[in-house]
Chain A
């Protein structure tokens, strides 16, 4: 087990390093362009003139070859120093540290909401297999996964915040601010998890030992809780893990629309301002988070189902 974890961690670091390299050279800009981007972030277009450009180029030592800058960045990254954001003029790591808890909060809220809805719904769907409730469920999940989340967000804001005056428009001002973003974010995951729960339950329901228990006279309730759930849940874990990636991606847009101060919003602002250090930092962080979550998911799954090999093979 330990060996498995260690092996996976090594893979994670290798992958992260490759991700970092890919991102670095992807967002690399010419020295003149970097200087322009910094100045624009600092003071708008009025700040971009030749004198300021010269000062910036020498201050940040931008004339060095890209490889030199890259190696310096990698070494610093390992030390935890991810550079300074052009736009905010603060350490990238500091900004990320500030914003990460918010994204985690939002993500967890979305996951919790999704799980709370999808598991009972999925079970009910399975139990009423091919009857009315099941069909309703299938249509429902198909619908939810088809609507673009940013559109739903806009509609919800108008309806809930404005017309009904129930909820705030955005920002993070109290517990009620998290509701709309979490609901919108959880949509895709709810759909996928419900379907998975249903299909997993159906698999379990068709097993012989369930019928054996029924024949012995056990009540349905007990059968569900004692036997079915335990066996139906493991695949859900994997789906949840996969969906968290979707949530991280979706959070980027949702945070932007709801002005939720998280990492996603930071990334979009950074892309718009061509704030290269911040872009790199955000991407690295998100990749890292995703990798860790997948690792945890895989470990939990391995614990639950010893038939899974520890070599890291994908199914």
Chain B
């Protein structure tokens, strides 16, 4: 009797589980400004849906979360910033019309008066103040990246920012995704951020927290005229690169960023996918551990750069996705100094420099040594950017060619950071967005001046300070270029390759432009479907 009950129970459990497995998925919507769309149901002739794959997990629409802010501003087009950086890194007024520095630590920004939020209210200084304060409070990275200390509304459309230190780069900082402007109505009565009520051409329709899917529809009262036939955008989280690519090939997604490099070849002749590569403002860069004796000698540092074939790395290892640096930064940056020494591939020069520094193969074992000790280098890098591991392995190969023994460790980023701080490495391959804050001093300030590797060059530091102090653009460029030249001479940190990205677009996508100044990638409003 008992056994029968148990077996019935079992059968029931199995039956139920099969039902749940086959049952339809219900979407839990967080906010329903517009109705949700059942996939395919509304894709009739009057709805043009642009489906975009986002490479990170989406868990919230809170603008204080940088991943979310990036998606909202650049991919969905729901939120905007006061200032906008265009393709040649010049700053354009966006939600702000003009700005001036009014004191050592104060700036005044004038706002557009014709901008409406998605809830119908007008964007004014109070709203800007609210947004910035919300972000300052909830985004841990905000203060250190923008130096904003407080914000006041001087009148309806004038805002005053007070910075924690004197900075001429506040306008650039206000193009950073973390500074998007939203309406206070984004937050509900419990103080939770539920809807991104922004100013963009698209407004939030649905956010499905569980699957990380975000949908937005056209906002009729957008403050600029826009030409596109897209009526709805759907943003899906797909963290795996090949999965993103497959999704486009499968017809599930229209735009996917950072797909595998080899797709350039595989999909070159595809009927329903267009694949293109772009150079980004992001760099790969190597840092030497200057706390070690090995790298005190400038000849060693230079030799190790001569030993690497940067051209081959870009063309064969990265499969053409990226750029060979002519300096420290990407060519198109207005402040890039392209006349510096990049120590281009010359293994003979590398060997002779190393010999001068005392490294020869004295015991004929195929490896270089000095004072009886074999030259062994520990190369470390991190997992997040697939190109890093490839470059490091290629570096291993090049060093093996000239007789240098190497070991490799690939770790998660903060673990790598810990090793760097402990000095437990020889060379570290890192990656950075050189235009995270699009100013001529930002990149070197962050990685060359404030570093953990023991690199100090007083002249470089004062050039950077001068660069940050002046408000004249031409002067800024000059200081920056001089600083770059100095840094390249020191060869303590160098750029083996410029980061490239491959995009896979379905054949229906039109008017997609890539903007290198973006944090990740921007899908412009004008992108449409054929």
A joins B in a complex: yes
A residues in contact (CB < 8 Å) with B:
30, 32-33, 36-40, 42-53, 55-56, 59, 88-90, 95, 98-99, 102, 105, 108-109, 111-112, 115-116, 157-158, 161-162, 165, 168-175, 177-178, 182, 229-230, 233, 237, 256-259, 261, 269, 271-274, 300, 303-304
In contact, B140 and A170 (Cβ under 8 angstroms)? no
| List of A residues within 8 angstroms of B415 by Cβ | 274
- A87 CB to closest chain B CB (Å) equals 8
In contact, A46 and B210 (Cβ under 8 angstroms)? no
**Quick one: given A45-B431, A105-B20, A274-B415, are A259 and B243 in contact (CB under 8 Å)?**
yes
Asked if B14 is at the interface of the complex by the 8 Å CB criterion, the answer is yes
In contact, A112 and B66 (Cβ under 8 angstroms)? no
- B30 CB to closest chain A CB (Å) equals 11
A32 to B25, alpha carbons, bound, how many Å? Answer: 43
In contact, A52 and B66 (Cβ under 8 angstroms)? no
Among B7, B25, B178, chain A packs the most CB atoms within 10 A around the CB of B25
| List of B residues within 8 angstroms of A237 by Cβ | 10
Closest residue on chain A to residue B446 by CB atoms: A49
Question: CB within 8 Å of A: which of B87-119?
Answer: none
A230 to B21, alpha carbons, bound, how many Å? Answer: 27
Closest residue on chain A to residue B177 by CB atoms: A43
B residues in contact (CB < 8 Å) with A:
2-3, 6-7, 10, 14, 17-18, 20-25, 39, 57, 59-60, 62, 64-66, 138-141, 143-145, 178, 209-212, 236-240, 243, 246-247, 249-252, 383-384, 412-415, 417-418, 421, 430-433, 436, 446, 450
**Quick one: given A52-B141, A169-B246, A274-B412, are A88 and B240 in contact (CB under 8 Å)?**
no
In contact, A173 and B25 (Cβ under 8 angstroms)? yes
In contact, A45 and B432 (Cβ under 8 angstroms)? yes
| List of B residues within 8 angstroms of A158 by Cβ | 246
* Contact sample, A vs B, 28 pairs, CB 8 Å cutoff: A32-B421, A36-B418, A37-B414, A42-B140, A43-B141, A43-B178, A44-B433, A45-B430, A45-B432, A46-B433, A47-B66, A47-B145, A49-B446, A50-B450, A52-B141, A52-B144, A89-B64, A98-B209, A102-B210, A105-B20, A157-B246, A169-B250, A170-B247, A171-B237, A173-B252, A175-B21, A230-B3, A233-B7
Could you list 12 further interchain pairs (A-B, Cβ under 8 angstroms) beyond the known A47-B140, A109-B17? A36-B414, A36-B417, A42-B139, A46-B436, A108-B17, A116-B14, A161-B246, A162-B249, A170-B243, A171-B236, A258-B243, A304-B2
| List of A residues within 8 angstroms of B418 by Cβ | 30, 33, 36
- B62 CB to closest chain A CB (Å) equals 7
A312 to B3, alpha carbons, bound, how many Å? Answer: 21
In contact, A172 and B211 (Cβ under 8 angstroms)? yes
In contact, A47 and B141 (Cβ under 8 angstroms)? yes
A44 to B7, alpha carbons, bound, how many Å? Answer: 53
In contact, B414 and A33 (Cβ under 8 angstroms)? yes
Tell me which of B6, B239, B384, B430 contacts A304 (CB under 8 A).
Answer: B6
Closest residue on chain B to residue A157 by CB atoms: B246
A168 to B144, alpha carbons, bound, how many Å? Answer: 42
| List of B residues within 8 angstroms of A53 by Cβ | 144
Closest residue on chain A to residue B417 by CB atoms: A36
Tell me which of A99, A162, A175 contacts B22 (CB under 8 A).
Answer: A175
A171 to B234, alpha carbons, bound, how many Å? Answer: 14
Among A48, A49, A51, A89, chain B packs the most CB atoms within 10 A around the CB of A89
A177 to B238, alpha carbons, bound, how many Å? Answer: 14
A234 to B66, alpha carbons, bound, how many Å? Answer: 52
Closest residue on chain A to residue B2 by CB atoms: A303
| List of B residues within 8 angstroms of A182 by Cβ | 21
Closest residue on chain B to residue A240 by CB atoms: B10
A272 to B384, alpha carbons, bound, how many Å? Answer: 8
A213 to B3, alpha carbons, bound, how many Å? Answer: 20
In contact, A45 and B144 (Cβ under 8 angstroms)? no
In contact, B252 and A169 (Cβ under 8 angstroms)? yes
- B81 CB to closest chain A CB (Å) equals 15
In contact, A55 and B140 (Cβ under 8 angstroms)? yes
A112 to B2, alpha carbons, bound, how many Å? Answer: 23
A44 to B436, alpha carbons, bound, how many Å? Answer: 10
| List of A residues within 8 angstroms of B64 by Cβ | 89
| List of B residues within 8 angstroms of A30 by Cβ | 418
Closest residue on chain A to residue B143 by CB atoms: A55
| List of B residues within 8 angstroms of A169 by Cβ | 243, 246-247, 250, 252
A218 to B526, alpha carbons, bound, how many Å? Answer: 77
Closest residue on chain A to residue B16 by CB atoms: A108
A161 to B247, alpha carbons, bound, how many Å? Answer: 9
In contact, A162 and B17 (Cβ under 8 angstroms)? no
A237 to B139, alpha carbons, bound, how many Å? Answer: 50
- A252 CB to closest chain B CB (Å) equals 14
- A181 CB to closest chain B CB (Å) equals 11
In contact, A55 and B417 (Cβ under 8 angstroms)? no
Closest residue on chain B to residue A173 by CB atoms: B39
A161 to B243, alpha carbons, bound, how many Å? Answer: 10
In contact, A89 and B412 (Cβ under 8 angstroms)? no
In contact, A105 and B140 (Cβ under 8 angstroms)? no
In contact, A168 and B414 (Cβ under 8 angstroms)? no
Tell me which of A43, A59, A111 contacts B145 (CB under 8 A).
Answer: A43
In contact, B65 and A261 (Cβ under 8 angstroms)? no
- B388 CB to closest chain A CB (Å) equals 12
A38 to B59, alpha carbons, bound, how many Å? Answer: 16
In contact, A303 and B6 (Cβ under 8 angstroms)? yes
Closest residue on chain B to residue A119 by CB atoms: B14
| List of A residues within 8 angstroms of B433 by Cβ | 44, 46
Among B60, B140, B384, chain A packs the most CB atoms within 10 A around the CB of B140
In contact, B240 and A259 (Cβ under 8 angstroms)? yes
Closest residue on chain B to residue A115 by CB atoms: B14
**Quick one: given A51-B143, A233-B7, are A171 and B250 in contact (CB under 8 Å)?**
no
A111 to B10, alpha carbons, bound, how many Å? Answer: 12
Tell me which of B211, B236, B246, B431 contacts A162 (CB under 8 A).
Answer: B246
Closest residue on chain B to residue A89 by CB atoms: B65
Tell me which of A90, A112, A229, A274 contacts B14 (CB under 8 A).
Answer: A112
| List of A residues within 8 angstroms of B446 by Cβ | 46, 49
In contact, B59 and A162 (Cβ under 8 angstroms)? no
**Quick one: given A43-B178, A55-B143, are A48 and B417 in contact (CB under 8 Å)?**
yes
Closest residue on chain A to residue B443 by CB atoms: A46
- A45 CB to closest chain B CB (Å) equals 6
- A160 CB to closest chain B CB (Å) equals 10
- B415 CB to closest chain A CB (Å) equals 7
